[in-house]
Amino acid sequence: MTSRVRTVTFDAHDPYELAGFWLQVLKAPRPDDDHPEDPYAAVVTDSMTLLFERNNDEKAAKNRLHLDLEPDRPRDEEVEWLLTIGATIYQDHREPDGTGWVIMHDPEQNEFCVLRSAAEREATN
């Protein structure tokens, strides 16, 4: 038998709000049973579920696990849009030749990377 990853779970001070950010990022609808005061909130896509669980502990160190996003538009456009919805740039690893990635933080300081789109990678091969 083989296991599969069903859910990636994040601690969150405000699960509903943090899920709202990721719902925008992944262009997913909010589940009907998610409400602002619930201890959990979910982002369900065709390929994965992100679950945000209320936990008021402060983040103490760098994430040991993070998401890598591959946008369907140019990486730089995606980064600019993510900044408008509450993300921040943590480290910028973009190179002059267009390669590289950007490490960003979501509104609760979880790291994630924005990679080049498939079209951008194909154009440099």
DSSP string over the chain = -------EEEEESSHHHHHHHHHHHHT-PPPTT--TT-SEEEEE-SS-EEEEEE--PPP-S--SS-EEE--SS-HHHHHHHHHHTT-EEEEE---TTS---EEEE-TT--EEEE---HHHHHHT-
pTM of the predicted structure, to 2 decimals = 0.91
Please determine, looking at this structure, whether the domain spanning 1-57 carries the CATH number 3.30.420.40.
no
pLDDT by 10s per residue, the chain, length 125: 788 888 999 999 999 999 999 999 999 999 999 999 999 999 999 989 999 999 988 877 878 889 999 999 999 999 999 999 999 999 999 999 999 999 999 999 999 999 999 999 999 87
For the chain, which residues make up each domain, given as ranges? Answer: 1-57, 66-125
CATH number for the segment(s) 66-125: 3.10.180.10
